[in-house]
Amino acid sequence: MSITGIESLVYGVDDVATATRFFEDFGLPIAGKSEASARFVLAEGSSVVLLHRDDPVLPVTTMVGGGVREIIWGVDSAQALDAYVERLRGVVEVRRDDDGTAHFVAPFGVAMGLRLWRRKPVLYAPDPVNAPGRVNRFNQHRKWRERARPKVISHAVWAIPDFEAGYQFMRDMLDFRLADRQRGVGVYLRADGSNNHHSIFFINANAPTPGMDGQVRFHHANFGVEDIDEIMTGANHMVRKGWEASHWGLGRHRIDSALFYYIPCPAGGEAEYGADSDYIDDSWVPRDWTNPLFGVAHYMHNLPPFLIDAPEWEFRYLTEETATAGGGH
Ligand SMILES: [Fe+2]
């Protein structure tokens, strides 16, 4: 039984028209829109749904600010879905739709759902990379693009006050795996049926960093593209369309090795283009990023003040025992 990824992200937004225009420019394929809502469907079959923040369909939680009001996880079989609901019922209230979709609010204040989902395989074909003495692309230029077209939703991120309790809930109720810990900052968790480095990241809402105020807040969602060229084509298009500029610009995280490009999003939080992340399975050994700043980035275009001094190279591997005991947090 497994959760194979994010089936949909349901946003509550201030202005449906503006948020719709943002995601159209961002490159998500529109499947339908009205004055009150919009729906995008990506190649893998996952959806982004935009509703007005006061829409009665949206769950009410302790989350403050805009962003994703409900994340629906895709489950690979009806039996698995029923089993998860059975498990959850001992801990949270679960409501089921006629189509079997289960809705609940996790104890840490994030509304979630479970839905039977057959994720469509997505096949990318990134251009081979050349280096002196290692020519993988001969007499052949790279793809030229006009737009970015994300095909997958890779992960979503919230700040929550007790990220350890959040980890334990996701592990015990939904079989999520620990991918990495960033000391004092948060935990990266992977759905058991996905090889993405993480499907969800919980940030410590009490961390002494900008934007953290101890409350539940949506932070960002990551949309996967093919490579650095697609990221930057999308980034340039968003600038041409007049959207707020990225603060960090292009960079590469050290945790999960992924290329990133975050853009402030009028639907709430930020929308991230992502490529070339780590893909892992249960043989992955989680790490404890004891110096959290070391984990943030290998490099980035607009170096923020907190990374002007190069961080110490510091992390360790977690044993099973230290992973579950909180990793020395
Ligand atoms: Fe991310």
Domain boundaries along the sequence of the chain? 3-119+150-324
The neighbourhood of ligand 1, an ion, using CB within 5 A, equals 222, 272
Q: Kindly state the average pLDDT of the residues 111-125.
A: 97
pLDDT(104) > 50: yes
pLDDT(295) > 90: yes
Q: What is the pLDDT of residue 19?
A: 98
Structure confidence at residue 320 as a pLDDT band (50, 70, 90):
confident
pLDDT(92) > 60: yes
DSSP one-letter string for 116-181: E--PPP----PPPPPBTTB-SS-S-PPPP-SS----EEEEEEEEES-HHHHHHHHHHHH--EEEEE
The set of residues, in sequence order, having a beta carbon less than 8 Å from that of 61 and lying 6+ positions away, is 69, 105, 109, 110, 111, 216
Q: What is the pLDDT of residue 321?
A: 66
In this structure, are residues 150 and 26 in contact, taking their beta carbons and an 8 Å threshold?
A: yes
Q: What is the pLDDT of residue 324?
A: 64
Token digits of residue 11 = 């946003």
Kindly give the distance from the C-alpha atom of residue 220 to the centroid of ligand 1, in angstroms, as a whole number: 7
Kindly give the distance from the C-alpha atom of residue 155 to the centroid of ligand 1, in angstroms, as a whole number: 7
Q: What is the pLDDT of residue 319?
A: 80
Kindly give the distance from the C-alpha atom of residue 36 to the centroid of ligand 1, in angstroms, as a whole number: 28
3-119+150-324: what fold?
2,3-Dihydroxybiphenyl 1,2-Dioxygenase; domain 1 (3.10.180)
Q: Please state, rounded to an integer, the average pLDDT across all residues of the chain.
A: 96
Kindly give the distance from the C-alpha atom of residue 273 to the centroid of ligand 1, in angstroms, as a whole number: 8
Q: What is the pLDDT of residue 327?
A: 45
Kindly give the distance from the C-alpha atom of residue 252 to the centroid of ligand 1, in angstroms, as a whole number: 11
Q: Kindly state the average pLDDT of the residues 270-280.
A: 98
Nearest residue to 245 (alpha-carbon basis) of 203, 303, 302, 293: 302
Q: At residue 161, what are phi and psi to the nearest 5 degrees? A: -65, -40
Q: What is the pLDDT of residue 326?
A: 52
pLDDT(250) > 90: yes
In this structure, are residues 252 and 262 in contact, taking their beta carbons and an 8 Å threshold?
A: no
What letter represents residue 294's amino acid?
F
DSSP state of 11: E
Structure confidence at residue 209 as a pLDDT band (50, 70, 90):
confident
